[in-house]
Chains A and B, each alone.
Chain A
Amino acid sequence: MGVTCVSQMPVAEGKSVQQTVELLTRKLEMLGAEKQGTFCVDCETYHTASSTLGSQGQAGKLMYVMHNSEYPLSCFALFENGPCLIADTNFDVLMVKLKGFFQSAKASKIETRGTRYQYCDFLVKVGTVTMGPSARGISVEVEYGPCVVPSDCWSLLLEFLQSFLGSHTPGAPAVFGNRHDAVYGPADTVVQYMELFNKIRKQQQIVFPHR
């Protein structure tokens, strides 16, 4: 597990999502990265059931249940600004049992699928974010394997991102800002993905009529 940065690549003008992804992958292959299969990250949203809400009438919290093919035997459950739980895949079955407390938000399943590239110590994943049948955006994830402390290798990561993302290089992710010297973990990656998905969901409400 190394330090990972998840960012969004805006769709090139006049091109479709598919074409932009192809452009990126071609750039990577020219760099010398080797294809190593596919990856998939998906996310489901749950509301806390209204029956369990207190008399204060607060809005139900949203819980996200995510899977990452990089950790095939794990399941992640997290709240927006709250804790993130890493559990066994039996957690999905548990959610079915907890139907009374957590209700699935309709049409909320969002996922990103794509190819995995290995370039020496870097692991690059370029994926298409889809919600239902429509593609909504492009996610780019870069992992630097050897290092686990974000503050030590952020500059290296940034340089690498610049080499193939060019002007679309993102800033430092929010998770880095919290604890600079703490060890990076898989939960942080998943939090980044959640933020990305939320951003894309919000974006879509504006962009959708366009496409």
Chain B
Amino acid sequence: MSGVRAVRISIESACEKQVQEVGLDGTETYLQPLSMSQNLARLAQRIDFSQGSGSEEEEAAGPEGDAQDWAGAGSSADQDDEEGLVKFQPSLWPWDSVRNNLRSALTEMCVLYDVLSIVRDKKFMTLDPVSQDAVPPKQNPQTLQLISKKKSLAGAAQILLKGAERLTKSVTENQENKLQRDFNSELLRLRQHWKLRKVGDKILGDLSYRSAGSLFPHHGTFEVIKNTDIDLDKKIPEDYCPLDVQIPSDLEGSAYIKVSIQKQAPDIGDLGTVNLFKRPLPKSKPGSPHWQTKLEAAQNVLLCKEIFAQLSREAVQFKSQIPHIVVKNQIISQPFPSLQLSISLCHSSNDKKSQKSATEKQSPEDHLYVLEHNLHLLMREFHKQTLSSITMPHPASAPFGHKRMRLSGPQAFDKNEINSLQSSEGLLEKIIKQAKHIFLRSRTAATIDSLASRIEDPQIQAHWSNINDVYESSVKVLITSQGYEQICKWAWIAISFPLRTTFAASHVSWSIQLQLNIGVEQIRVVHRDGRVITLSHQEQELQDFLLSQMSQHQVHAVQQLAKVMGWQVLSFSNHVGLGPIESIGNASAITVASPNGDYAISVRNGPESGSKIMVQFPRNQCKDLPKSDVLQDSKWNHLRGPFREVQWNKMEGRNFVYKMELLMSALSPCLL
């Protein structure tokens, strides 16, 4: 302490004067601090002089009580004395405690300063760090990251698990509620299939085809009502649906259009009694709710009504040669004489009354499903025409119609061109044409089949084309002899090579091939040799024609056979003018001579008269010839002479050409 300079410390008294008052201009008036005499007076007021004797007795009792603890008593007495001594000192030096505290602080600071200066030299004292477990500095951030990532992932996982838990809860809730099926969810399902709109507090729907292009005036609205007649106490039935649809009363039940062709015209009294039969309702798709089947059935009824309304309107408006009869729900027309086409709308409602009456089942075999289907398609096509891209979009000033019609003004179309643009055929006409074609086709097929089964020689084959039109079908009819198809075909194949035209020209006849094009009212036959024949719808005509072709075939086959066998064709005619007149077609005839000229065979075949075969023998083989003087030389006896008829039915061989071949081979002498 002696070498330390004196440190000057400035001290300021902290006791500030109390503010007595603050003037209006902010000056403060301080209270004068109490002087010594005033302080004394204040302290004296505090002393309670009445308790003075009590404090003395306590002092006396104090030491007497501690007489046993002599050291404690003595020390306490000493402390009392010291305290008494100490009590005197503060009155001499009020800053003493401050001075002492400062002095001790200074001492401490000096010591610290000394220690630091010694430590700085590192000669006598050094600072030694406290040894700790060494933590590698590199691992620190990684583990920290790992731990932090783990924590954050755990947090995210927690959130996701919470969400998943919520979802599974809702899904299980939904599944539980499925049986109960909320009205709104069912309404949503309904809305996915049908157009709905809200009118006031009712929900209405539209099941007409108006948005698809129909012009039928039926409104086709159905009402969606809430199904509230459910008793919650009872078990909810399996097919319970909180939604129910109410369809218009005239669309209830099921309907279809029956198209049938009958051969006999019925009595007039039968008109109007439509043969209804209750077609079994088409099975609804499993899983489709009951309102779907109900609405679909109602829509079908509406479409059938529209079709029938269109047909009956056309039947009444358009004039045809034979007027159509429209009675109640049936349209009757006559496409061919003795044929009757009836189109009827069969609408069976679900009443119990009608179910009883419809127990008698009419044969559904004469119902042409194809035509019914076509009617539906035609109606839909008509709908599409009003909305087709040909008509829409269109200028606001132009009327609806075919796009080319707009050009008809500026390009000065005449009536023919305008008519070609407008389709003038109505639904009824189209259906009648289709019905005619179907009938004609089936009758042609029946004719050909009956002929094929009745006549075995020659054989008749029909190859029907797979691809047909609604108004046209075609069939290829081949007439061949069994076992001898190659003879006829060989000639045909030769023709098809264009290089061999010269060779082909020598083959005059070949097998009969007919191409029949069955149209709406006529059958057009194209023959192999280029002839085109038009047959009417009468089946007798076709039958006669085929019979005549078959008879011609036999003669043609003989001609081909003669070429193969080496026999010479002397004469050949498709239409022979001799002999009995045939009622169907004409008879054909051929005469062939044997290779050495000895024999000749003459064949006459007619469709009705059958075949007649005669053989000509050389004169020297005939015994019953009258001798005459005309022939001088015997060489003339080698010429062919009289004819003799062959009993063809006793001839061996399964068909005509086989028999002919046997005959020819029998008449050609063997050279061996």
Contact = CB atoms under 8 A, between A and B. Distances in A.
Contacts of A72: 415, 418
Contact of A86 (B406, B411, B414): B411
B412 A86 contact: yes
B412 A74 contact: yes
Interface string A76-89: 10000000001111
Given A72-B418, A73-B418, A90-B397, A185 B410 contact: no
Contact of A1 (B397, B405, B410, B412): B412
B129 interface: no
Interface string B385-419: 00000000000010000000110111111110010
A25 B413 CA distance: 27
B397, B409, B411, B413 interface centre (most CB from chain A within 10 Å): B409
A185 B409 contact: no
B644 to A, nearest CB: 61
A55 to B, nearest CB: 35
Contacts of A90: 397, 409
Contacts of B406: 88
A76 B397 CA distance: 19
Interface residues of A, number: 16
A149 interface: no
B409 A86 contact: yes
A76 B410 CA distance: 9
A76 B411 CA distance: 11
B641 to A, nearest CB: 62
A148 interface: no
Contacts of B412: 1, 71, 74, 76, 86, 185-187
A70 interface: yes
A88 B414 CA distance: 13
Contacts of B418: 72-73
A88 B413 contact: no
Contacts of A89: 409
B341 to A, nearest CB: 33
Chain B interface residue number, banded: 10 to 19
A61 to B, nearest CB: 22
Nearest to B397: A90
A8 B550 CA distance: 64
Contacts of B413: 71, 73-74
A131 to B, nearest CB: 25
A70 B408 CA distance: 12
From B406, B410, B412, B415, residue with most partner A Cβ within 10 Å: B412
A86 B407 CA distance: 10
Contacts of A186: 412
A1 B414 CA distance: 8
Contacts of A76: 412
Contacts of A88: 406, 409-410
A84 B405 CA distance: 21
A148 B406 CA distance: 24
Contacts of A74: 408-413
A86 B397 contact: no
Interface string B410-443: 1111110010000000000000000000000000
Contacts of A87: 409-410
A75 interface: yes
Interface in B56-90: none
A87 B406 CA distance: 10
A72 B414 CA distance: 7
B312 to A, nearest CB: 31
A97 B412 CA distance: 23
23 contacts: A1-B412, A1-B414, A70-B415, A71-B413, A72-B415, A73-B408, A73-B409, A74-B408, A74-B410, A74-B412, A74-B413, A76-B412, A86-B409, A86-B411, A86-B412, A87-B409, A87-B410, A88-B409, A88-B410, A90-B397, A90-B409, A186-B412, A187-B412
Given A74-B408, A86-B412, A87-B409, 4 more contacts: A70-B414, A72-B415, A73-B413, A186-B412
